[in-house]
Structure 1
Amino acid sequence: MRMNALTLKQLRALDAVARSGSLTAAGEILGLTTPAIHTQIKGLEDALQVRLTQRAADGGGSELTEAGQALREAALRIEEILSQAEANLEAIRRGQVGRLTVGVVSTGKYFAPRLVKMLQERHPEVEIALKVGNRTATIEGLERDAFDMVIMGRPPRRPEVIAAPLGPHPHGLVAPPGHPLIGHEAEIEALFAETFIAREQGSGTRILMTRWLDRIGEGRTYDALEMDSNETIKQAVMAGLGIAFLSLHTVTEELASGRLVALRAPGLPVERHWFLVRPEHARVRDVTLRIWDDILGLEGRYLPKVPGD
């Protein structure tokens, strides 16, 4: 294999084929002709002596082989590194020491901007970028070294990470005002007769909700209505479509104003912790360690206060 013969143009052509599903569509993405895309892919295959694309399973278009998928993963990591380098260079050009990228799972977006503001006031020489995604997307970002550090719930097993606790993270059930289960601890049968408005598969909140219901329900089935954001779920609960298991840090304003009410039920609240995480094997810059230590030194002062605590 002649890895030193690969070019960014070739790797971007491979990624475009993976994203679009055909050489022609890949050419449209990159502003190239179909023969030009074919030439780029052929150059990769000649250098690596392995087949990278094949006819799609449905008979139309192209898809990556197993080797092609492995090479694309490497290409995505390269693009992440180049993007971070570009941002760092731009920050340095403006007189800063560099740029720090902080990933946060969706539930953390309710307090992460407050944390970033505190860090900016303490470290004006550092540009801090915030990227929000669900748990699956955040872990994928960790694997690609897309983040300097991440704020999340339970740290992943893979990739291997260094993790430090930031503070408590309570979860509970919320319902609209006037719901019949308000004011007393809900019985199991009445609870499982409700419709649960749930986050999408892959969400940390969805995983925690499923485990809690399985534990208290001992195998009982329940109806779930899936929605892909906490904001949509809150609006659905207030509209009377069901009840929801959510991080209580996402509903502090609604609980304080009475637009939502926390329900009492067995095993609630489910107490977890927020963690600050960074890849274990990544090269760590001095600025990353400085901000890491500063976040830990804040001792969770940016975390929301849940009404009634």
Structure 2
Amino acid sequence: MNLIRALTLRQLQIFVVASRLPSFARAAEELHLSQPAVSMQIRQLEDALGLPLFERLSRRLALTEAGERLSHHASRILGEIKDIEDTMTSLAQADSGTIAVSIVSSATYFAPKLLALYSQQFPKVDVHFSVGNRETLLRLLQDNATDLAIMGRPPPELGTTAEPLARHPHVIIAPLNHPLRDARRFDLQELAGDTFLLREPGSGTRAVVEHMFRQHLFTPARCVTLGSNETIKQAVMAGMGVSLLSLHTLPFELRAGALAVLDVNGTPLERTWQIVHLTSKQLSPTCVAFRRFMLEHAQPYLEREYAEFLPQPSSAAARRAAAAAATKHGGDGATDRTVAR
């Protein structure tokens, strides 16, 4: 007996309905079929099984022992089919599923809050996110180990699609007793005698500060490499030197008045947060919806959170300014949609 070939889901559906009604005529009414059509499907099912499924008792249909047992299995099979249908519909509507998101360490100060907001709206979506420097994210993208990455510069060495999320200003910070704390619009060369505290090679922040040095033909008296934004902030507060960091890593220190932002010409350096994925990757509907959520919410959220530290233009103007600045400074950002190869 090869039931896989002999049975159909339609036969099981008709059987389950007929098994709980007193006659094939009533089953036909519920199924919007003719009574002969119902009788034919039941007969074909019985022929495939080699056993009678119904018997007539006192002018009513009753299940045989084979019918009773089949009723249990058929209901379970149809229930599983319904679960599959619900799951596929849910995925198509992007309100469930799994997403892998990777973020650079500088984005840890805002991205988790946006992820939490997304999870409140889509509680059935399981978001896995990891944190690393730029090189780590490039490796994850290259290995197809992440769906989406939130970072600064889109990687030209990979075939990726990058879309701008929000402005990403960088500022020069100093200890509160720095002699130029209250100076206005002075040149970077005035800091030539200072020690600059830098992120590790491979970090996006390190690339930004090195670009600034080249652009201004600037060589600091001394450079010290430290492994994280938090370590750099503590070192600056302790008086070890000055540093260029993302403004988005500084909300707590600036609100507490623990650091000074120096008013250096050419700063804030405007970059752009990007959301990146491999161009060859087929994003699921859930990933597409998550990307759309981030594109809609990141800029307004950052404008609200950092309005007290920098004047914020409108969202549309911010994107135009950030894209123009990124293009001017060697491709650290992207216009509406960038494919990097």
2: CA distance, partners of 1:229 / 1:306? 25
Deviates more, 1:180-189 or 1:281-290: 180-189
CA contact (8 A) 1:105 1:152 kept: yes
Cα deviation digits, residues 12-41 of structure 1 (max 9, x gap)? xxxxxxxxxxxxxxxxxxxxxxxxxxxxxx
Q: Show the counterpart of 2:222.
A: 223
Counterparts of 1:226-241 in structure 2, within 5 Å, are 226-241=225-240
2: CA distance, partners of 1:167 / 1:219? 28
Provide the aligned length of Structure 1 versus Structure 2: 214
1: CA distance, partners of 2:140 / 2:122? 25
Counterparts of 1:265-276 in structure 2, within 5 Å, are 265-276=264-275
CA contact (8 A) 2:96 2:122 kept: no
Displacement of 1:187 in angstroms is 4.3
Cα deviation digits, residues 168-222 of structure 1 (max 9, x gap)? 0000100111210111134444301100011001111011101112212x25353
Whether 1:279 aligns to 2:288 is: no
Displacement of 1:293 in angstroms is 1.5
- Secondary structure in 2 aligned to 1:104? strand
2: CA distance, partners of 1:138 / 1:111? 17
Q: Show the counterpart of 1:138.
A: 137
The answer to which structure, 1 or 2, has the higher relative contact order (CA under 8 A, 6+ apart) is: 2
Displacement of 1:127 in angstroms is 0.6
2: CA distance, partners of 1:302 / 1:131? 21
Q: Show the counterpart of 1:296.
A: 295
- Secondary structure in 1 aligned to 2:139? helix
Counterparts of 1:22-33 in structure 2, within 5 Å, are none
Q: Show the counterpart of 1:210.
A: 210
2: CA distance, partners of 1:147 / 1:188? 39
Counterparts of 1:49-128 in structure 2, within 5 Å, are 97-128=96-127
Judging changes above 3 Å, is the alpha-carbon distance between structure 1 residues 252 and 113 closer, same or farther for their aligned structure 2 residues? same
Counterparts of 1:153-172 in structure 2, within 5 Å, are 153-172=152-171
**Letter in structure 1 aligned against 2:240:** L
Displacement of 1:255 in angstroms is 1.2
Judging changes above 3 Å, is the alpha-carbon distance between structure 1 residues 271 and 189 closer, same or farther for their aligned structure 2 residues? closer
- Secondary structure in 2 aligned to 1:298? helix
CA contact (8 A) 1:249 1:306 kept: no
2: CA distance, partners of 1:237 / 1:220? 19
- Secondary structure in 2 aligned to 1:155? coil
CA contact (8 A) 1:171 1:248 kept: yes
Displacement of 1:307 in angstroms is 3.4
Structure 2 spans left out of the alignment, 5+ residues = 1-90, 311-341
Cα deviation digits, residues 52-101 of structure 1 (max 9, x gap)? xxxxxxxxxxxxxxxxxxxxxxxxxxxxxxxxxxxxxxxx9xxx832111
Whether 1:307 aligns to 2:281 is: no
Cα deviation digits, residues 101-129 of structure 1 (max 9, x gap)? 11101110111110110110111110111
Judging changes above 3 Å, is the alpha-carbon distance between structure 1 residues 248 and 282 closer, same or farther for their aligned structure 2 residues? same
Larger radius of gyration: 2
* Aligned-pair identity (%): 36
- Secondary structure in 1 aligned to 2:295? helix
Structure 1 spans left out of the alignment, 5+ residues = 1-91
Judging changes above 3 Å, is the alpha-carbon distance between structure 1 residues 280 and 259 closer, same or farther for their aligned structure 2 residues? same
CA contact (8 A) 1:171 1:269 kept: yes
Q: Show the counterpart of 2:260.
A: 261
Judging changes above 3 Å, is the alpha-carbon distance between structure 1 residues 132 and 187 closer, same or farther for their aligned structure 2 residues? same
- Secondary structure in 2 aligned to 1:158? coil
TM-score, structure 1 as length reference = 0.66
- Secondary structure in 1 aligned to 2:177? coil
- Secondary structure in 2 aligned to 1:300? helix
2: CA distance, partners of 1:170 / 1:219? 20
CA contact (8 A) 1:195 1:242 kept: yes
2: CA distance, partners of 1:151 / 1:223? 31
Judging changes above 3 Å, is the alpha-carbon distance between structure 1 residues 172 and 306 closer, same or farther for their aligned structure 2 residues? farther
TM-score, structure 2 as length reference = 0.60
